[in-house]
Amino acid sequence: MIKLVAALSLAALVAGCSGVDPNSPAGKRHAAYEKVGAANKALGKVFEAPTPDLAAAAEPIATLKAQAAVLPSLFPAGSGPESGQKTEALPAIWSDPAGFSTAMNNFTGAVAKLDAAHAAGDLAATKAAAADLGKTCKACHTKYRKKD
Ligand code: HEC
Residue 104 main-chain phi, psi, to 5 deg: -70, -40
Q: Give which of 14, 11, 65 is closest to 39, Cα–Cα.
A: 65
Q: What pLDDT, on the 0 to 100 scale, is given for residue 73?
A: 98
Q: In whole angstroms, what is the distance from residue 134 CA to residue 64 CA?
A: 12
CA of 91 to the centre of ligand 1 (A): 15
For residue 17, pLDDT beyond 60: no
88 pocket-lining for ligand 1 (C-beta < 6 Å): yes
**Hey, what amino acid is at 106?**
N
Please report the domains of the chain, with CATH numbers, ordered by start residue: 21-144 (1.20.120.10)
By residue count, the chain amounts to 148
For residue 6, pLDDT beyond 90: no
Mean pLDDT over 42-55 rounds to 96
Q: How many alpha carbons lie under 13 Å from residue 33 in its C-beta half-sphere? A: 22
86 pocket-lining for ligand 1 (C-beta < 6 Å): no
Termini Cα distance of the chain: 34
Q: What is the pTM of this model?
A: 0.90
For residue 12, pLDDT beyond 70: no
Confidence of residue 43 (pLDDT cuts 50, 70, 90): very high
